[in-house]
Amino acid sequence: MRICPQVAGNINISTWGGASSSYMVETPSRVLYRVYIDSLSDVAYTKSTDGGKTWGVSIIVHTGTVIYLTVWYDRWSDISAGLIHCAYVDNGVDDILYQSIDTENSDALSGETTVFAGSTAVASGSISITRARGGNIIVAGAIDAGAEDGAWESNNVGATWGGTIADPSEGGSGDQYLLLPDWNADTQDVMLIFWDSSADELSVKRYDNSADTWTEASIATLVDVYPGGQPGPQFAAAVDLTNSQNVIVAWSAVDLLNADLQCWKITNTTINEMTNVVLNSTDDQGICAIGIDTQSQAWWVAYAGKSDGSETWFSAVQVYVKVSVDAGSTWGAETLISTIGTFSIRQLIAVPRSIGPPAFNFALQGGTQYNLHAIVAGITPSASYQMGVM
């Protein structure tokens, strides 16, 4: 496997919090989109037509004082359309706002709508967005340290929001949300991977659209991995459309001896733990991202810090990747993908579904923050699985 890291220009970002709240998108024509909060606290995107070697100019989606952002792409829900759905919290107006980017129609913006009119937005919140396989868009989260939280639904592609649905929140400061499609016969159902900061627990909450209820099942009890000032996210997900399931990775602890980077497959009824990506870390490891190669069905998981503990969390680490070609039963060797020396890392994200090995972006801390785009090239691990749908 040959790794070719590339610095992707001066893409200045100012956000790294939340649960996988800033994504890259790859279209069927292999155009990469990176949606992010820029250094002026605006929502912006940039795109690359050469696999991330070079990036175009930044295009502003929303001008304001945005403190968190979440993104979803139609094809991650097996919907044959090209909208990138963006929800973001602007603490200038204290609202959750929505807008989409139409990648199949000259990147036209939908026009902004209000998901939730709040009263106070603070930095310790979190939001997430997904599109159900049946087409409804769901946003869930908390914008005021647990005081203003809930879930909201649109059944007309974000043009209007019909008000609140049942609230999956637990009123806790620092809870993290990660919405995904569900796999029930009712295609409007969704699921929420919920990180309970007070209980240090990861759970799945499944939403029954017809009954307007959430049902919770525990995934794992964890060590507190969101101490103040730490990078993120510490858990991530990718949608496995071929097998009607979501794949979750999460650290059992961060920067601790014997920490594990765990992995699960979650369907509409089951939670199956797979082999740990990292087992019994020596120390100095954290954050993660996952992407699925839709050609080979290989799972790619990236994280920061070498497993032998020879680096220093989080001020002097590099980014590594492991690959599974058997749906998480085994993982390949730990492979370095950030060949620029150690650095202080703040955020790691991936293209959740890609044609070939996924691209990863990681943001560094410093006077000027930028993205380092690692282009994974060479021989792709092969498997005998049916090809998925991008």
Q: Single out the residue of 234, 237, 231, 165 nearest to residue 197, CA to CA.
A: 234
Is the model's pLDDT at 271 over the cut of 90? yes
Residue 387 located in a structural domain: no
Q: What are phi and psi of 74, to 5 degrees?
A: -50, -45
Instruction: List Cβ neighbours of 120 (8 Å cut-off, separation of 6 or more).
Output: 94, 143, 144, 147, 148
67 falls in which pLDDT band (50, 70, 90)? Answer: confident
Q: Is residue 386 part of a domain?
A: no
For the segment 180-190, what is each residue's pLDDT rounded down to a tens digit?
999 999 999 99
- Distance CA(250)–CA(264), nearest Å, equals 9
pLDDT tens readout for residues 275-307: 999 999 999 999 999 999 999 999 999 999 999
Q: Is the pLDDT of residue 52 over 50?
A: yes
Establish if 384 belongs to a structural domain.
no
Q: What is the pLDDT of residues 377-387, one digit of tens each?
A: 543 443 333 32
Is 185 among the domain residues?
yes
Position with higher pLDDT, 16 vs 113: 113
Tokens 């939280």 — which residue? 149
Structural domain range at position 83: 2-377
The overall average pLDDT reported for the chain is: 86
Q: What is the pLDDT of residue 315?
A: 87
Structure tokens given for 292: 């699925």
Q: What are the tokens at 176?
A: 């993290």
In this prediction, residue 225 has a pLDDT band, given cuts at 50, 70 and 90, of low
Residue 122 lies in a domain: yes
Residue 215 lies in a domain: yes
Residue 388 in any domain: the answer is no
* Percent of the chain residues topping a pLDDT of 70: 86
Q: For the chain, what is the domain count?
A: 1
> Per-residue confidence at 172, pLDDT binned at 50, 70, 90?
confident
Q: What is the pLDDT of residues 305-328, one digit of tens each?
A: 999 999 999 889 999 999 999 999
Distance of CA 132 to the CA centre of its chain: 16
Global confidence as pTM: 0.92
Whole-number Cα distances in Å, 316 to 147, 151, 282, 304, 306: 36, 38, 15, 10, 11
Question: Pick the residue with more confidence: 10 or 286?
Answer: 286
What are 232-248's pLDDT values in tens digits? 788 999 999 999 999 99
Q: Is the dihedral of CA 267, 268, 273, 278 positive or negative?
A: positive
Q: Give a yes or no: residue 54 inside a domain.
A: yes
CATH number, domain with residue 142: 2.120.10.10
Q: How confident is the model at residue 371 (pLDDT cuts 50, 70, 90)?
A: low
Alpha-carbon gap, residue 333 to 133, rounded angstroms: 35
